[in-house]
Amino acid sequence: MRLFLFFILFFLTQNFLNAQILPDQPLSGPGGRNYLYDDIRVTDRAEEADGFWIFEPVSPVLDSAHVVVFLHGYGAINPMIYGGWLEHLVRKGNIVIYPRYQKRLFPPGTKHFAGRAVIGIQNALDTLRNGHHILPITRDFSITGHSYGGALAANLSANYQEYKLPKPVAVLLCSPGTGPFKGGLLEDYKNIPKETKLLIMISEKDKTVGDKLGKKVFATAENTIQKYLIEQLEDRRFKKLDIRAGHNESYSFDKRFDYGKRTIVTRRAKRVSRLDAVDYFGYWKLLDALHNCTRYGQDCSYAIGNTFEQGFMGYWSDGMAVKALKIK
């Protein structure tokens, strides 16, 4: 009888564990799926290494929209690697400029990356102003970047005047780093504007670039008043379900954004990418909240202040909280 009860208990326990699910995308709010636009218009000018893609919200039609620059990681040329996040940003009402700063994996040398990204951004803004697109609003300019793109986002934010770019007021760096390469790195980041709201997201288990550059930007952006170093933590509460905290958690692979550019990174992204709480309550929430805070003075507690809302990562289906973001 005891053996029978043991097996029943074991069976119920396993079913309980298997039944646990990760937090779903919230219905509304920063990171939520309360989308304002139903479709996306794509402009592809990415044939060359200083080219770009533009993604614009349509249906319904609008006259103007805020601009977000999205800087891809090393070799992550194809927008489908971040497709889920791109769709989220555009359907929230943003114009997204996706510069292509590499023609292929090798070359060009990394010292050319920042300059080519700048050319792509400038040409994309000129294209948007030619009368056949949604008019870009650049007074609340936003930049985000992953990996090498995070390093470039920090560079462009510090040197925006030299590059003749709009002043960035919302900046999110996602696992920033350059590995063994040095192109685009700065001695310090004190020239990031004091008005900029700067979030630097590092990952607890990042074995690709680690946290060195993220911590350097945080330490040397000494004139930036509102800056936060945010560590995303691994949560392995269940064996078959886990919240990972590796280098590529910002990937959100979506074939609908496939524009034919392939590198070894593309294949790896397809294998490791997944949508989960790290997207909805991490990267997507933080950038949405930065936009709402800098543009409208709303949802600031989700973006800055080391608040419960900023660190919150959702609940498992049994009501237990996912490990919160660690904020400095």
pLDDT tens, 43-65? 999 998 899 999 999 999 899 99
pLDDT digits (tens, 9 = 90+) for 25-40: 999 999 999 999 999 9
**Mean pLDDT, to the nearest integer, of 183-207?**
97
Residue 3: CB atoms within 10 Å: 7
Asked if pLDDT for residue 15 goes beyond 50, the answer is: no
User: 257 pLDDT exceeds 60?
Assistant: yes
Contact 167/141 with Cβ under 8 angstroms? yes
- pLDDT bin (cut points 50, 70, 90) of residue 261 is confident
Q: Quick check: 202 pLDDT over 60?
A: yes
Distance, CA of 311 to CA of 316 (rounded, Å): 15
Report pLDDT for 111: 93
- Which residue segments constitute the domains of the chain, with CATH numbers given? 2-327 (3.40.50.1820)
Is the confidence at residue 88, as pLDDT, over 50?
yes
β-partners of residue 45 are 52
pLDDT tens digits, one per residue of 115-131: 999 999 999 999 999 98
Q: How far apart are CA 92 and CA 260, in angstroms?
A: 26
Report CA Rg, the chain. 20
Report, as an integer, the average pLDDT of 71-95.
97
**Which pLDDT value is given to residue 18?**
45
**Spatial contact of 250 and 268, defined as CB atoms under 8 Å apart:** no
**pLDDT above 90 as % of the chain:** 83
Q: How many percent of the chain have pLDDT more than 70?
A: 93
The answer to whether the bond into 108 is cis (omega within 30° of 0) is yes
Instruction: For the beta carbon of residue 210, count every other beta carbon within 10 angstroms.
Output: 15
Task: Determine the Cα–Cα distance for residues 211 and 25; give it in Å rounded to an integer.
Answer: 27
Residue 12 has pLDDT above 70, yes or no: no
Q: Which of 286, 314, 282 minimizes the C-alpha distance to 299?
A: 286
Widest pairwise Cα distance in the chain:
80
pLDDT of residue 97: 98
Does the pLDDT of residue 19 top 60, yes or no?
A: no
Could you report the per-residue pLDDT of 209-244, keeping only the tens digit for each?
999 999 999 999 999 999 999 999 999 877 667 899
299-313 per-position pLDDT tens digit: 999 999 999 999 999
What is the model's pLDDT at position 6?
40
pLDDT of residue 22: 80
Q: Looking at this protein, which amino acid is placed at residue 248?
A: N
H or E element in which residue 227 lies: strand 226-232
Higher pLDDT among residues 95 and 1, named by residue:
95
| Planar angle of CA 91, 93, 94, nearest 5 degrees | 105
Query: Which pLDDT score, from 0 to 100, does residue 108 have?
Result: 62
Supply the pLDDT for residue 10: 40
Amino acid residing at 202: I
Please state, in angstroms and rounded to a whole number, the distance separating the CA atoms of residues 176 and 154.
Answer: 9
**pLDDT above 70 for 277:** yes
